[in-house]
Amino acid sequence: MLRSSTALGWAAAFLAPALISSLDALSNRPSYQLAGFLYLLAVSLAAYLGGFAAGLVATVLATLGLDYFFTPPRHDFVPASTDQAAGVALFFVVAILISQLFGRRRQVQRQAEAASARANRLQAVTARLAEAVTPQQVLDAIVTEGVEAAEARAGAIGLVTADGQMIEIVAQRGYERNLFVGWESFPLASDTPMGKAIRDESPFFFSTSAERDAAFSTMSTLGGPSHALAILPLVVEGRAIGAIAFTFPTEIEFDAERRALKATLAQQAAQAIDRVRLYEAERALRQRMTFLADASELLGSSLDYEATLAQLARLAVPEMATWCSVDMVGPDRSIQRLAVAHEDPERAAWAERLGEEYPPDPDQPMGVPNVIRTMTAEFVPEITDELLVEAAQGDERLLEIVRELGLRSAITVPLIARGRALGALSLIRDDSAPRYTELDLDLASELARRAASAVDNAGLYREAERRGDASRALAHVDDGVVLLDEEGAVVSINPAAARILAVDEATVVGETAVGSIGGWSEIEDNARPERGGTRGPVTLPLVLSNGNERWISVSGVDFGDGAVYALRDVTEERLLERTRSDFVATASHELRTPLAAVLGAVKTLRREDVSFDPDQREMLMDMIDREAERLSGIVGQILLTGQLDAGRLRLEHERFDPVALTKSVVDSAELHLPTGIELRVQAEKDVPAVAGDENQLRQVISNLVDNAIKYSPQGGDVELRLNRNGQFARIEVADSGLGIPRDEHDRIFEKFYRLDPALTRGVNGTGLGLYISKELVERMNGRISVDSEPGRGSTFVVEVPLAI
């Protein structure tokens, strides 16, 4: 606008006086005074529009015009009188003054306009800067708006890296493509204008590139034709965070105003960048928090850790990584790839195949195996080509592949839980994303920590569930199971084992088995398996914590971290076994005695060399009869036991008189009563009829009577008493014989059970009589019991239900 008005001013300077001079041609031309006034107007106009210089030109032309055309004598430069000459001179002075007045006014206006234009540009820069959210946008604002003010052709912004060591070119505009190749980042300490400007926090202005090259020899290779350069530090809160460079298309003299303007731009840029950084940091933080929150939610959502980790890998892409992979340590310590994620599923699948083709070598000096082995993160902010060459380990094809991927930056963090590396999480970015920073490493570490604890929890839960199942099962099995740790302390003991070993679970868990379980040293000595081996089963007699002696069958399995023992109380089987073998011995003895007697008698009778008198013959025949009876009795007992065990014995249900039955048993016993035994029956009056199997009850009573006689070797009374007890008829068989110790009262009713021969003075028997009696009575819905003490005789009581 100023420029066009200057042109008008010059036009006016020439044309306006010429126009007024041309009025001379009019017949009615203006008077000398009027012409003078018009000339002054023309000068004013020229000075107003064109400044003092135009005003001066107009003044000279107007003065000449006034003198020549309008001052008498007209058309002559020499005035007619001194008055007129003074008039022209006065006109000249007034016109000069007017020119000066308007010229100064114009200059002031021009300055004001320039200042306002500058302010406008700065304001435009400020407005654009306010909107900028990336360093590139800041630079664009400065270069496109500000640079117009700065008259620059191109610009670049370099920022000091977080570690304070390097300068990184974060944005540039207007330079030839390859200018910054190799200069993307360079040390702050380098001999460069940016380095020095930042270090000294003071700007550099070079009017030519030669000037720059003289000051900074390293720069001479950089940049093209001769141009001016300005480098200004970006200072925020008294600290240089970077520098901005302006490159000019021509050589420029940097006057104070230019320098001040650039300083203002740099200041604005610094503030904008600081704000952008804060914004970036805040945005990144928010993004991280959101990511972590999402990841945590995901990790907590399922116990299927394999699926969850695969989802996590997908969640990390693309915000956190271009590539994300999870590798886990398998049970055989091998490393297995669990998941690979990439934005493009096809690429992920391809990477998975590549992973299969190149399985990780556990001894690899870097990467996942190294991270797992050393349990420390690997952070490669800048993946250099040397690194790729090293990683490819001479495999040209692999090198080509990884080069083509354009990998830029990588983080690999171990998944550690309870001091164990479970696997590793890898994050890789390619050229499309910024390099990883320490903050990203922190985030990845946090993510790995959470993922590891989720995996561990899932494992613990599965284990607990499995153990829960196992311990539930163990709680219900009858076999005892004891789990010991490596040191022999009880880790767990199931209820059956506690019962078998007569201990309390709560008091032994955590204690050593030898110290807390009675008899365990016996087990330790005889059943302890070798490391990793099994032993047993062995059957041991143990004296338990409660002092009882029990036969326990034990087998042990050692599984490295401890041993598990299975226990079974085989006391009963053992006794049965013993009594059974005892029975075989007794039965054969029992059978052999009468058989020998019968055989002996028969052989004697058949002797032809001896003649027997009738008494002797009768005695021998009697013996055959008695012993055959005894034989048949023993065989009968054995058969009956067999029937009872097989459940094949059918009992009658009849009504009969117990008194008559008892008397008949006593009558037949009387027939061969040993000497010194008295048999007596005492029946209450009116003992009612009972219901049951009469023959079998006869068997029971005669068993009891036989025993009473047998176990009274010194002789004595055997009394049978009958009375009514409520709904039962009660039959007692009382003797005054050897008697039975109290703690054997139950056992004598067991199959094959016989008292110690020392207690029975060698009286023969099979140990089946009382067993059969009890079985028969109970099948008649009755009961049988004994009351006895050694040396004081025994009273057996049978109760049979009354007939209704």
Residues at the site binding ligand ADP, with contacts judged by CB under 6 A:
703, 707-708, 711, 735, 737-740, 748, 754-755, 760, 765-771, 794
SS3 673: coil
Reduced to 3 states (helix: H, G, I; strand: E, B; else coil), residue 178 is coil
CB-nearer residue toward ligand ADP: 110 or 698: 698
Pick between residue 158 and residue 793 the one whose CB is nearest to ligand ADP. Answer: 793
Coil vs helix vs strand at 658: helix
**Beta carbons within 10 angstroms of residue 481's beta carbon:** 20
Contact by Cβ (8 Å): 772, 699: yes
Residue among 227 and 774 whose Cβ is closer to ligand ADP: 774
Q: Which residue has the tokens 């311990």?
A: 471
Q: What is the distance between the alpha carbons of residues 273 and 129, in angstroms, rounded to a whole number?
A: 9
Q: What are the φ/ψ torsions at residue 344 (nearest 5 degrees)?
A: -95, 110
Complex with ligand ADP: residue 132 or 784, whichever CB lies closer? 784
Cβ–Cβ under 8 Å, residues 628 and 598 = yes
Smallest distance, ligand ADP to C-beta of residue 765, A: 2
Sheet architecture: strand order including 229-236: 185-187, 166-173, 154-160, 239-247, 229-236, 204-206
The pair of three-digit structure tokens given for residue 458, joined into one six-digit string: 């899932």
Q: How far is the CB of 570 from ligand ADP (least distance, A)?
A: 23
The smaller minimum CB distance to ligand ADP, of residues 618 and 746, is found at 746
**Nearer to ligand ADP among residue 30 and residue 716 (C-beta):** 716
Indicate the residue among 58 and 708 with the shorter CB distance to ligand ADP. Answer: 708
> What's the sign of the alpha-carbon dihedral 136, 142, 144, 150?
negative
Cβ–Cβ < 8 Å for 534, 559 = no
Query: Which residues are CB-contacts of 332 (< 8 A; sequence separation ≥ 6)?
Result: none
Looking at beta carbons only, is 98 or 770 nearer to ligand ADP?
770
To ligand ADP, the closest distance from the beta carbon of 541 in angstroms equals 24
> Angle at the Cα of 493 (from 487 to 499), degrees rounded to 5?
130
Q: Is 788 helix (H, G, I), strand (E, B) or coil?
A: strand
Q: Name the residue number minimizing CB distance to ligand ADP.
A: 765
Tally Cβ neighbours within 10 Å of residue 63: 22
What is the nearest approach in angstroms of ligand ADP to the Cβ of residue 739?
Answer: 6
Which lies closer to ligand ADP via its Cβ, residue 12 or residue 708?
708
In whole angstroms, the minimum distance from the beta carbon of 732 to ligand ADP comes to 12
Query: In whole angstroms, how close is the CB of 599 to ligand ADP at the nearest point?
Result: 23
Token code pair at residue 277 = 């950084």
DSSP secondary structure letter of residue 421: E
Rg of the Cα trace of the chain?
62
Compute the residue count for the chain: 804
Closest by CA to 38, choosing from 55, 21, 54, 15, is 21
Residue 329 or residue 748: which is nearer to ligand ADP going by CB?
A: 748
Euclidean distance between CA atoms 407 and 380, whole angstroms: 11
And the tokens for 213?
């090259």
Query: Between residues 242 and 737, which has the closer beta carbon with respect to ligand ADP?
Result: 737
> 171: which residues sit within 8 A by CB, 6+ positions away?
134, 135, 136, 138, 139, 140, 156, 157
Q: Which is nearer to ligand ADP, 104 or 589 (CB)?
A: 589
d(CA 750, CA 757) in angstroms, rounded, equals 16
- Residue among 99 and 641 whose Cβ is closer to ligand ADP: 641
- Shortest reach from residue 767's CB to ligand ADP, in Å: 5
Residue owning tokens 């790729």: 388
Closest contact distance (angstroms) between CB of 623 and ligand ADP is: 21
At its nearest, how many Å lie between ligand ADP and the CB of residue 768?
6
Q: Say if residue 510 is exposed, middle or buried (CB neighbours under 10 Å; 0-12, 13-18, 19+).
A: exposed
Give the start-end residues of each E strand in 383-504.
Answer: 407-417, 420-430, 480-485, 490-493
Nearer to ligand ADP, 424 or 666 (CB): 666
Nearest distance from residue 620's CB to ligand ADP, in Å? Answer: 26
Which token pair is 434? 């910024």
Look up tokens 């041609």; give the residue. Answer: 25
**Bridge partners for 69 per DSSP:** none
Q: How far is the CB of 784 from ligand ADP (least distance, A)?
A: 11
CB 484 within 8 A of CB 563: yes
d(CA 158, CA 241): 9
Choose between 327 and 744: whose C-beta lies nearer to ligand ADP. Answer: 744
Q: How far is the CB of 661 from ligand ADP (least distance, A)?
A: 19
- As measured in angstroms, the least distance from the Cβ of 631 to ligand ADP is 14
Least distance (Å) between residue 777 CB and ligand ADP: 13
Q: How far is the CB of 703 from ligand ADP (least distance, A)?
A: 6
**Which pairs from 183-186 meet CB under 8 Å and 24+ separation?**
183/222, 185/161
